[in-house]
Amino acid sequence: MAYPQVLINRAEIARTVNALAARIQADYEGRDPVLIGALKGCFIFMSDLVRALNMPLSVDFLGVASYGGGTQSSGEVRLLHDFKGPIQGRHVLVVEDIVDTGLTLSFIIEHVRRKGPASIKVCALLDKPSRRSVPVTIDYLGFTVPNKFIVGYGLDFNEHYRNLPDICVLEDGA
């Protein structure tokens, strides 16, 4: 497998994660939010984000799938793993790796909303608005990326490339 082209390097990612954490910490001052990560892609971003937050918080995860083995969303979102902790009356911050069509994020927000949280906000590392088919609000956004297939820093193609420290573009046929 060839090394994909670097789009956003690790130093730029670190600066952005720290800036997002500073905004989140200011907005959630005096609260004890629960951060719910959308697995698997968010795991590196979320771990860096949580370590940059100096505040009381809880962490939970849910697993969703919409890609299967391809580079295009299937259009169908499936819940693979639900979060475990109670969130009724809690302030929830959904942490996503990338938002493209909006289908997965919309599914997650509706799933969380049914559990009765005090509030729901979204933090996404990457946004690909050119692919949006469902309107969604991202409260804390790291980067806007072009309509390319993105890997690295937790994002994958057929479970490969998650370990790359940079955010990269996977060229066709890689």
> What are the backbone angles phi and psi of residue 22, rounded to the nearest 5°?
-60, -45
Q: Domain range for residue 27?
A: 10-150
Please indicate, yes or no, if residue 116 is contained in any of the structural domains: yes
Please indicate, yes or no, if residue 156 is contained in any of the structural domains: no
Lowest mean pLDDT: which of 1-5, 105-109, 110-114, 167-171?
1-5
Please indicate, yes or no, if residue 14 is contained in any of the structural domains: yes
Please identify which of the residues 48, 97, 100, 156 carries the catalytic annotation: 100
Average per-residue pLDDT for the chain: 92
Please indicate, yes or no, if residue 165 is contained in any of the structural domains: no
| Strand duo 149-151 + 167-170: pairing | antiparallel
pLDDT of residue 6: 96
Q: Can you give the CATH number for the domain in which 98 is found? A: 3.40.50.2020
Please indicate, yes or no, if residue 45 is contained in any of the structural domains: yes
Reported as a pLDDT band with limits 50, 70 and 90, residue 1 is low
100 catalytically annotated: yes
Q: How many domains does the chain have?
A: 1
Q: Please tell me the pTM assigned to this model.
A: 0.90
Instruction: Dump pLDDT digits (tens) for 59-91.
Output: 999 998 875 555 555 568 888 888 888 899 999
Please indicate, yes or no, if residue 163 is contained in any of the structural domains: no
163 Cβ partners below 8 Å, 6+ apart? none
Q: Is the pLDDT of residue 24 over 90?
A: yes
Please indicate, yes or no, if residue 155 is contained in any of the structural domains: no
